Structure 1
Amino acid sequence: MSQGNNPPVGGGLDGQPPRPTMKYFTWAFIVTALGLALGAGLGWQMTGTVWGTLSVFFICAVLAVLEISLSFDNAIVNANKLKEMTPVWQRRFLTWGIIIAVFGMRIVFPLLIVVIAANIGPWQAMVMAAAQPEEYARIMHDAHLPIAAFGGTFLMMVGLSFFFDHEKDVHWVRWIERRMQHYATIRGIEVAIVLVTVLIFSSFLGTHESHVFFSAAIWGLLTFLLVEVLGGLLDSSQEVLHAGAKGGIGAFLYLEVLDASFSFDGVIGAFALTQNLFIIAIGLGIGAMYVRSMTIMLVEKGTLAQYRYLEHGAFYAIIALSVIMFCQSQVHIPEVITGLGGATLIGISFWASIRWNRQNGAVEG
């Protein structure tokens, strides 16, 4: 992934000028109002009291904030990949992709875990979510180990692949990033680092847990590699059919799996606030809409070009999140730490970008 020093160029996804900042969040605000109203209605139906209604309303709002704080780095990485995609696939990701993200990861994914773990049908899982939320939450909690291993492995591969790139020419933390670029020519070095990390963490677990952790991690690694290979094959086929087409269905699949990996922590962590699947879906769905809005804004305003270290901060946050997910196989780490940690790294990279712009006379905005 080459990073040049060209001046930032902002522009809409369809070639139109960038919109005012607040315009990007119009749909997010609408979904927020509808979601919170739906949450309040659900709270009234469940409890029949004003206090119960306000409680569910508040939980939905907190879950939305949790999702936004955990997924800001996701928006930056989405924007980084989205700017390489053709306009057609950009629109497809921002429409179908968000539907998959909201309904697939926030509703279908938790149900699928229970279906597999409890060996029951999808309808029985839905009934359990509505009638036996405590049992549903217990099954989700028990499935946390393989989810952490799978998601942590995939995200670590995403983060390391950004830095182990021999064409990368913009460095933020130079003393480490230059070395990573230097060793990027060694084939499979990212895979080796991830496997060693997985082996270290699995060695602290019992025999059965170690086997589960390692197996899930291998599946996470294979998923990353398969998405890369499949994406390359699909996009190269697309180039044959449509000259110059880049970043099509392969990039779309990559972003969907990436979003899934980012969502693991938020979905599991949400059960600490409520055991009701429908409240979780409302809260995290609201947050997902803000991630979509931030992604569009970052692309159209050319923010990633204007603030040269912002991507670096996001990918450092991804690596940090992957390590946190691995650590959660040993101890519970509150989601607020995960969210604040990523936001802090991105904030520091943003501040470093502003300093660089001022020192080099670059234009911000």
Structure 2
Amino acid sequence: MATRSLLTVPLLTTVAAAAVAWSVLGPAAALAFVALALLEIAMAADSSVPMAGIAGRLHSPARRLFLSLGIVAGVLAMRLLLPPAAVAVGDATDPASSVGEAVFEPGSFSAHLAEVRPGLAAFGAAFIWLVFAEYLFNTDRTSRRSWLGRLEARLARVARPRVWSLVTAGAGVALTATLVGADRGWAPGGVLPVVLGGAVGIGAYLGSKQLAAWSLHGRTGTDTASIGVGRGAWRIHVHASTVVFERGLVVFMLFEILDGVYSLSGSGVSGTDGLGAVEQAAVAVAAIGVGAVFLARLTSRLDEAAGLRRLRYLKAGAAYVLGVLSVLLWTSLLLPIPGVVVGWFGSVVIGLALATSLPWRAWWRRARRGLTGRARTARG
């Protein structure tokens, strides 16, 4: 499948939805939708690499479900439902009221979301660090070539990698809580959300892994080819759902927490200021849907082409994107993170991983042989 065909569905959907928005809501809504949709498509390109790595480990029926409905539904659910859920839990309010406030009173909802943001950021940082630590400490003990040299190779061979993962995550929570406490005079309202958020993030990760292990009948490793057969076939779909949760949480944190862009509204994007709350929500939901569809198609393309096997360092790059994201989340509890950093760090890391994966030496040797052959022909 060529790049042109890969982009056909999301681009046609974008054009059609923009035309509908123009005719129903006006040019401001159409322009805002296009801007949001293009941003969603660009950010989906980063997320597709780790998604493809997970898809390659799933049994065939679950892989098809994951690559089609699973990714789209997971991203939509995490992006649209997690912010109101976080506000409802943090403020001890009715979830339905939080959803209504997100749609009809985006300004008030943004203020409430900012109040619970420290706990959310601490939760996401701890959870995402543990996902990254699976690669860093090679918890699956897979054979691989280190991308960053000897230090990475040594970390991949440590004894008890899961213990190291938990220890480093706990150290990150403790260090961040200490720095936040020192910065804010050890006020309980400043330290407690960081500690509780980090603890809940570690607990959620362990719960997700426990559910995944149960769905795999307690097998070790990531080979799922022999499961999901017969009466227990539904278990592999439970495993796939844990993957969707992990990646959906990563995408949510990337968009909603670090750069503060649109929960259920399109505030912050040029052209949305003249729209009502419901119109902004409709534009944002449609743009998120387009990004989710593109993510599913791009992930499927990488899986079909075995891109992660051919480009050996792409998986490493995707893992380090998660590591940097978790560090940025912890840092954002102390310092504001510029949006440009969030918008480009993933693309830079993935680009470096792609560049180092390409067979430059083989291409150079073939080019030299070709030049030598032509020179000999010319002399003859």
Map 1:1-365 to 2 at 5 A. Answer: 19-40=1-22, 43-44=25-26, 53-54=27-28, 56-165=29-138, 166-206=141-181, 207-236=188-217, 242=229, 248-268=237-257, 269-271=260-262, 273=268, 276-355=280-359, 358=362
Distance 2:52 2:177 in 1: 34
Distance 1:220 1:41, change over 3 A: farther
Q: Quick one: which amino acid aligns to residue 21 of structure 1?
A: T
Percent pairwise identity: 21
Q: TM-score, normalised by structure 2?
A: 0.79
Q: Quick one: which amino acid aligns to residue 205 of structure 2?
A: F
Distance 1:111 1:354, change over 3 A: same
Q: Report the CA distance between 1:355 and its aligned residue.
A: 4.0
Distance 1:62 1:214 in 2: 37
Distance 1:130 1:219 in 2: 28
Q: Report the CA distance between 1:216 and its aligned residue.
A: 1.0
Q: Give SS of 1:204's match.
A: helix
Q: TM-score, normalised by structure 1?
A: 0.82
Q: Quick one: which amino acid aligns to residue 194 of structure 2?
A: F
Q: Give SS of 2:216's match.
A: helix
Contact 1:59 1:273 in 2 (8 A): no
Q: Report the CA distance between 1:358 and its aligned residue.
A: 2.6
RMSD: 2.9
Q: Which runs of 5+ in 1 are unaligned?
A: 1-18, 45-52
Q: Quick one: which amino acid aligns to residue 304 of structure 2?
A: E
Q: Quick one: which amino acid aligns to residue 177 of structure 2?
A: S
Q: Give SS of 1:236's match.
A: coil
Distance 1:294 1:279 in 2: 23
Distance 1:25 1:68, change over 3 A: closer
Contact 2:90 2:116 in 1 (8 A): yes
Contact 1:59 1:283 in 2 (8 A): no
Q: Which runs of 5+ in 2 are unaligned?
A: 182-187, 219-223, 270-276, 367-380
Contact 2:127 2:202 in 1 (8 A): yes
Q: Quick one: which amino acid aligns to residue 221 of structure 1?
A: I
Q: Quick one: which amino acid aligns to residue 170 of structure 1?
A: R
Q: Report the CA distance between 1:69 and its aligned residue.
A: 4.0
Contact 2:215 2:238 in 1 (8 A): yes
Contact 1:235 1:248 in 2 (8 A): no
Distance 2:76 2:106 in 1: 19
Distance 1:348 1:95 in 2: 29
Distance 1:195 1:42 in 2: 51
Distance 1:36 1:328 in 2: 34
Runs (4+) off by over 6 Å:
243-246, 359-362
Contact 1:69 1:340 in 2 (8 A): no
Distance 1:82 1:200, change over 3 A: same
Contact 2:46 2:346 in 1 (8 A): yes
Which whole-Å deviations, capped at 9, do the CAs of 1:98-133 have from their partners, x for residues lacking one?
342343123222232333344443443343234322
Q: Report the CA distance between 1:162 and its aligned residue.
A: 1.0
Contact 1:73 1:315 in 2 (8 A): no
Specify the structure having the higher radius of gyration (Cα). 2
Distance 1:229 1:102, change over 3 A: closer
Distance 1:184 1:173, change over 3 A: farther
Which whole-Å deviations, capped at 9, do the CAs of 1:305-352 have from their partners, x for residues lacking one?
111111111111110011111111112213331121111011011111
Distance 1:196 1:241, change over 3 A: closer
Q: Report the CA distance between 1:93 and its aligned residue.
A: 1.5
Contact 2:228 2:236 in 1 (8 A): no
